[in-house]
Structure 1
Amino acid sequence: MPTHATPVHDTLAQGVAPFGFDLVYADASLLVAGKPAGLLAVPGRGDDKQDCLSRRVQALYPDALVVHRLDMATSGLMLLARSRAVQRSLSQAFADRQIQKTYEAVVQGLPGMTAPDEDGWATINLPIAVDWPRRPLRVIEPLLGKPSLTRWRILSQDAPGNATRLVLQPVTGRSHQLRVHLQALGHPILGDALYATAQGQASAPRLLLHARELRLIHPVTGVAVHFKSPTPF
Structure 2
Amino acid sequence: MVDRDSSVREEFDVSREMGGERLDRLVSLGTGMSRSAARRAVEEGLVEAGGERRTSPSYRVGSGETVVVETTAEPGVQAEEIPVPVVYEDAHLLVVDKPAGLVVHPGAGNPSGTLVNALVSRGIIGGDDPVRPGVVHRLDRDTSGLLALSKSEEAYGGLVEQLSERSVGRIYRAVVLGSGLPRTGTVDSPVGRHPENPTLMAAGLGKKAVTHFQTLAAVSGDKGEDKGGYTMLRVRLETGRTHQIRVHLAAIGHPVYADPLYGTRVGGARGARLWLHAESLSFIHPVTGEPLEFEAGIPWDLLASASGLGFET
Of structures 1 and 2, the larger Rg is shown by: 2
Residue 99 of structure 1: aligned partner = 168
Counterpart of 1:87, as a letter, is Y
Is structure 2 residue 112 aligned with structure 1 residue 50?
A: yes
Residue 252 of structure 2: aligned partner = 185
CA contact (8 A) 2:87 2:95 kept: yes
CA distance in 2 between counterparts of 1:62 and 1:30 reads 9
* Residues 132 and 50 of structure 1: CA distance in aligned 2, closer, same or farther (over 3 Å): farther
* Residues 95 and 130 of structure 1: CA distance in aligned 2, closer, same or farther (over 3 Å): same
Q: TM-score, normalization: structure 2?
A: 0.63
Gaps of 5+ in 2: 1-80, 126-133, 303-313
The alpha carbon displacement at 1:49 in A equals 3.5
CA contact (8 A) 1:190 1:204 kept: no
The alpha carbon displacement at 1:204 in A equals 6.0
* Bigger mean CA offset, 48-57 vs 212-221: 48-57
CA contact (8 A) 1:111 1:187 kept: no
- How much is the aligned-residue C-alpha RMSD, in angstroms? 1.6
Q: Which has the higher contact order (CA 8 A, sep 6+)?
A: 1
Give 1:1-233 correspondences, 5 Å limit.
19-46=82-109, 48-59=110-121, 61-64=122-125, 65-113=134-182, 121-141=184-204, 144-160=205-221, 162-202=229-269, 205-232=272-299, 233=302
Gaps of 5+ in 1: 1-17, 114-119
Q: TM-score, normalization: structure 1?
A: 0.83
Aligned length: 206
* Residues 212 and 121 of structure 1: CA distance in aligned 2, closer, same or farther (over 3 Å): same
Residue 21 of structure 2: aligned partner = none
CA distance in 2 between counterparts of 1:147 and 1:111 reads 26
SS at match of 1:93: helix
The alpha carbon displacement at 1:68 in A equals 1.2
Counterpart of 1:148, as a letter, is A
The alpha carbon displacement at 1:203 in A equals 6.2
CA distance in 1 between counterparts of 2:281 and 2:246 reads 19
Aligned-pair identity in percent equals 38
CA distance in 2 between counterparts of 1:124 and 1:42 reads 29
CA distance in 2 between counterparts of 1:203 and 1:152 reads 27
CA distance in 1 between counterparts of 2:107 and 2:196 reads 21
CA distance in 2 between counterparts of 1:98 and 1:203 reads 38
